[in-house]
Structure 1
Amino acid sequence: MLRIKEDIAVYILCGGKSSRMKTEKGLVEFHGRPFLQWILDAVTPLTSKITLVTKNPAYASYGLPMIPDLVEDQGPVGGIFTALADSSSKYNLILSCDIPKISTEVLDSLIQSAIDSDKDVCILSDGKHDYPLIGCYQKYLLPAFQQAIEQNHLKLCSLVDSLRNNKLVISQKDQAALRNINTPAELLSLT
């Protein structure tokens, strides 16, 4: 596996309300480790520039930079806006905090696809569903996200579809990496 040499930063969105999980999703444990730790294990071989988008002090123990949403209650669009505003990197890997099965190999493929592409954003897809919270967003998209917030267009999939995008369809064997866990029942079914 090649270490990513391009200008890449990772932002993990940990600021959601977790209304369906009823507890802080990034700190939910899977096989004895918080979801966030699984994600960090997958991204640290690729870059050391990792920031958590959250104001929850429970994440401080990770020793990573933490930034609160610039505009509260704007969902993932607001989280990505916050990340892009903070970033000085051309490529920004945006991840939700509820994907404990994500792998370094899948993320490496996504980043390489983004670097090799002339598109604004590269996200993962299983061929039926798109996963815009496992995506690589270019820094210059900041005004598009600001405008979406100003106009209250907060549907992330619609926003991504309005941009020049590349949807990287991953193989069947890697599709478990895409699974986001939103409820206690989904956690119980995770293997």
Structure 2
Amino acid sequence: MIDIPCVIFAGGKSSRMGEDKALLPFEKHNTLTEYQLNQHSKTFQNIYISCKSKEKFDFNANFIEDLNQELFAPTTAFISIFHRLDNDSFFAISVDTPFIDNTIIKTLVEEDNGSFDAVVAVVDEQIQPLCGIYHRTLLSAFTDMEEQNIHKLNYLLKNSNVKFVPFEDKNKFLNLNNKEEYQKALEIINASLI
């Protein structure tokens, strides 16, 4: 079991999906969030769910609610997480990437020797900002970004001491942004259950 905490990011607006993707049913679970919680509980000792409000979930978990309720941006989630956790680092994963597996996670953890601000996955030359390890050394940068109204994680990663770890299988990084991608993910998961 990995001893750094894992935080599932489930506080986005889901504007392209048209409904809250964190609450969509997935596999045998009532919500995608519960699926992710179940999957990653096999790998991490401690798991948290980052969200705007825990009231939308009807199950028990360790929730970290955003300190800034007005802003829908990952910057405020990162700031809230570092304020809540005592740990110097945590593994960040998005609720809408259900196929990121143990192998990917363990590779990223092995690549983190403590000398970087973050260790983040890259696939097909695309940075995957919500699949990686973030260190507390970035807290002041997140705070500055929020004050300057800059919320792109790629901006932070390109201006910090980050180790980018390349992966080959882009299907593992399927991101459920819209209904088509959600249906594709359901087809993949249903085929694996046969």
Could you say which TM-score interval applies, normalised by the shorter chain? Answer: 0.7 to 0.9
Taking the aligned partners of 1:131 and 1:94, their CA distance within structure 2 comes to 10
How far the C-alpha of 1:177 sits from its partner, in A, is: 2.1
Deviation at 1:60, TM superposition (A): 4.3
Aligned mates of 2:46, 2:177 — CA distance in 1:
26
Match of 2:191 in 1: none
* Deviation of 1:167 (Å): 0.8
Is the counterpart of residue 18 in structure 1 residue 10 in structure 2?
Answer: no
Q: Which amino acid aligns with 2:142?
A: F
1:106 maps to: 104
Q: Which residue of 1 aligns with 2:146?
A: 149
2:180 pairs with 1:185: yes
Unaligned runs of 5+ in 1: none
Answer yes or no: is the 8 Å Cα contact 1:87–1:139 preserved in 2.
no
Decide which moves more: 38-47 or 96-105: 38-47
TM-score scaled to structure 2, two decimals?
Answer: 0.86
Q: CA deviation at 1:184?
A: 0.7
- Once the two structures are overlaid, the 10-residue window that deviates more, 12-21 or 28-37, is 28-37
> Aligned equivalents of 2:66 and 2:88: distance in 1?
20
**1: distance between equivalents of 2:114 and 2:174?**
25
Task: Please name the residue that 2:78 is paired with.
Answer: 80
Superposed counterparts of 1:32-51, under 5 Å: 32-33=28-29, 34-51=31-48
Q: Does 1:169 align with 2:169?
A: no
Task: Summarize the Cα distance change of 1:130–1:74 in structure 2 as closer, same or farther, 3 Å threshold.
Answer: same
State the 1:79 CA deviation: 1.3
Instruction: State percent identity of aligned pairs.
Output: 23
Aligned to 1:91: 89
Correspondence for 1:119: 116
Q: Distance in 2 between matches of 1:102 and 1:40?
A: 13
TM-superposed deviation, 1:163: 0.7
C-alpha RMSD of the superposition? 1.7
User: Quick check: 1:122–1:165 contact (8 Å CA) kept in 2?
Assistant: yes
Distance 2:117 2:66 in 1: 22
Q: Secondary structure at the match of 1:95?
A: strand
Q: Shift in Å at residue 153 of structure 1?
A: 1.4
2-side partners of 1:69 and 1:26: how far apart?
16
Gapped runs of 5+ residues in structure 2? 189-194
User: CA 1:93/1:74 → structure 2, altered by over 3 Å: closer, same or farther?
Assistant: same
